[in-house]
Amino acid sequence: MSSFLSIDFQDDQLVLIDQTKLPLVEEYIKTDELERISVAIERLEVRGAPAIGITAAYAIALALKGVSCNVDEVFNSAYKRLASTRPTAVNLFWALDEMRSVFEANKNKPDIYGILLEAAKQIHQDDIEMCNAMGKNGLGIFEKKSNVLTHCNTGRLATGGEGTAFSVIKTGYENGLVKFVYSDETRPLLQGSRLTAFELAKNGIPFAMNTDSTAAVLMKEDKVDLVITGADRIAVNGDSANKIGTYNLAVLCKHHNIPFYITAPTTTIDLKIETGNKIKIEERGREEINQIKNVQVTRPEYDVYSPAFDVTPNELISGIITEKALHRPPYNFK
């Protein structure tokens, strides 16, 4: 069973596992500083859309710790700094707006820090419960004991609870519905081989790592029964943004007649965006492509194109699992 926490709150400080050092080193960041938390999000020391939202909620509360004057200025500055960290994950902006609502309703009260902290803790607890519900709702996708392929990381390291797609995998395994898991390495930062593998091993689930480009061979050889991934933002029509390489998998699934599923909480659905064409895609720095662990592997002056996410069209998605239901096409989340 899992024996680690990706996000915790202890002694008036936020505690985050440093995901950039996993799986070789299990090290934690403990801080109450807004800037340190913001940098942790930017550096991907904490990542995964739900986890980013929870982290931002705690950061907003901590920004008001010990503050008794100019609370509006302090809050707005913290909000702006956190909003600048990652543009694609909608949970970040959802959590910030939730915290703004609590702040506006209570900013004249003497214990504004305590009130905001309780709101952040509630967001965290709600995510734990949503993860459990997604796991249960996902049981409906299994028609037999299955081999599952997944991409990027969607477990405790990406959420406040057991995960999104990972919760479905874990719940399926516990119910005798998952036989084996293939984990895409997930280039360029290897979230699959570093983080998902770490979580699968912690939970005793049989698995193997594979390069992203091996997925087609696995499908051709009938070694994959279905694919489950997470999402960082979902449009009203079901178009889903997720880690780069997800769209490839959906296209491969279509060709090989394999079901492709997305799992995400309803907070990941952006009701302001009708289609995936409106989703802003974050681009990462060239060093994530031309270096591995700060070791130069190609010439540094070569140009790089490095989108962090891609968008899978709704027609390629067999179902979207949320904490409320297993949604089938056609999708309309309004």
- Catalytic site residues? 232
| Separation of alpha carbons 218 and 215, rounded Å | 5
Alpha helices in the chain (DSSP H): 34-42, 49-63, 71-83, 90-106, 112-137, 165-174, 191, 197-202, 215-220, 246-256, 287-290
Q: Which of 29, 34, 1, 32 is nearest to 15 (CA)?
A: 29
| Separation of alpha carbons 326 and 323, rounded Å | 8
| Separation of alpha carbons 224 and 27, rounded Å | 34
b/e string for 134-144 if b means 16 or more Cβ within 10 A? bbebbeebbee
Report CA torsion sign: 228, 234, 239, 241. negative
Torsion of CA 98, 106, 61, 166, to 10 degrees: -30
Are residues 117 and 294 in contact, defined by beta-carbon separation less than 8 angstroms? no
| Separation of alpha carbons 150 and 140, rounded Å | 17
Q: Which of 12, 31, 1, 49 is nearest to 262 (CA)?
A: 49
Q: Which of 313, 289, 319 is nearest to 302 (CA)?
A: 289
Task: Return the H-helix or E-strand segment holding 182.
Answer: strand 178-184
| Separation of alpha carbons 12 and 161, rounded Å | 21
Are residues 90 and 268 in contact, defined by beta-carbon separation less than 8 angstroms? yes
